[in-house]
Amino acid sequence: MHRMPAGFTRLQPREAPLVAAGLDGLNARWLLEVAPTASASPELAVERCRVLVDGTDCRWPFRSPLDRWPLEDRSVPVVLLRHVWQPAIEVDPLDEALRVLKPGGILISVTANPWHHLAWRELGREALRLPSWPHFQILHARHGFSLATPIASQVRGYVPGLNAALVLVAQKPVEPARIEPMRFARPEASHGAAAVSQCRAA
């Protein structure tokens, strides 16, 4: 029997300010949020498009495999992945997030802390299958993201059970500038008569 992913609604009051802090200073006009169907979206001061998922597929506003979004390459400024790291979700969406992000775009990933009692209340012993803070960072670095999480959040993430939600901020590498060789037109010799100078010595 297929299990539906948990929504982690109880984490909302603790999760929302951490996500808002991750967005602080980005000046993003909108973001793409990918979250389980049972998950309520946090209040954020930014426009968003929501994609709701179950264990292997996107369900709304389109239907597609979770690892093949019908979106253009390099078209999204910010991707927010919320609670897609739980056992009921069988597909890793990081490759797709990397593909659709613009160069230099920001990824914000949220997962429940496997060592916090709220995760255990939601998943029971299966909470231990959630990624710990070091594993969560390695997952993103393995896909080529540059970690941009503030130092304070990094330190707090290493303390077991301190944060109910782990929030990681990462950046897609900026593409290097391309320099094309400059081509100059060949100088052409003038065939007209030279102008007579009108200058006179004083």
pTM: 0.83
Identify the H or E element spanning 152: helix 151-157
Tell whether the torsion through CA atoms of 73, 74, 78 and 83 is positive or negative. Answer: positive
Residue bearing tokens 């006009």: 29
The whole-number pLDDT of residue 199 equals 45
Rounded to a whole number, what is the distance in angstroms from the first to the last CA of the chain? 104
The whole-number pLDDT of residue 200 equals 46
d(CA 90, CA 3): 11
CA-wise closest residue to 136 among 104, 164, 161, 114: 114
Q: Domains of the chain, with CATH numbers?
A: 9-171 (3.40.50.150)
The whole-number pLDDT of residue 182 equals 65
- Residue 50 pairs in a beta bridge with 33
The whole-number pLDDT of residue 43 equals 85
Q: Supply 202's token pair.
A: 């004083």
The whole-number pLDDT of residue 184 equals 65
Are residues 95 and 107 in contact, defined by beta-carbon separation less than 8 angstroms?
no
d(CA 53, CA 193): 78
- The pLDDT tens digits for 56-80 are 899 999 999 999 999 999 999 999 9
Q: Which residues of the chain have pLDDT under 70?
A: 1-2, 176-202
Query: How many degrees, rounded to 5, is the angle at CA 19 between CA 16 and CA 25?
Result: 130
The whole-number pLDDT of residue 25 equals 83
Residue 124: exposed, middle, or buried by beta-carbon count in 10 A (0-12, 13-18, 19+)? Answer: exposed
Residue bearing tokens 């069988």: 90
Are residues 82 and 76 in contact, defined by beta-carbon separation less than 8 angstroms?
no
d(CA 59, CA 38): 12
d(CA 163, CA 152): 12
d(CA 188, CA 186): 6
